[in-house]
Structure 1
Amino acid sequence: MPSKLTKEQSDYLVSKIQRFFAEQRSENLGNLETEEMIEFFSKELGPFFYNQGVQDSRKLLLERMSALEDELYVLEQPVMKKR
């Protein structure tokens, strides 16, 4: 199992996958088979989902920084030059 999953998370995923295969494909998977499947998909698909999360976070951060920059401009005091 991926080291980043807790036992509770792993047990939950095993249960969900086994139920899916039983209901959708009429196949019964054992715990070991299911855990290996989770490990495989985590290794192969995980980086894609992780990178998408990083991209989503970057986009959100840039949007928030832009809004913060706008708020800072509003705080500036007008300055008049005297001659």
Structure 2
Amino acid sequence: AAAVTGTIYQVVTSGPDIVGFDPAKDKLNLGDVSVHNFIVVDTAEGVGFRNPWSGETAIVKGVSLSQLTIDSFAPVINDHLRQDL
């Protein structure tokens, strides 16, 4: 069977919220971000990735943290962040 390919969304806390993410096939690319610059938060709008220093948050609209799995992420470069997820 062919693998289901989705969209890879770059998560940038200072950037736009992510709309249209499909947990079944899409992936989030967190880049080389350290755990000290990224806090995962569950909000009413969806799961968010927050910069604790600026308070800026990128929200994955309509998707809760519980809907995400390890397959929801492109390979996470930072070891500490990967362990936290």
Give the structure with the higher percent helix.
1
Q: TM (normalized to structure 1)?
A: 0.23
Higher relative contact order (CA 8 A, sep 6+): 2
Q: TM (normalized to structure 2)?
A: 0.23
Give the structure with the higher percent strand.
2
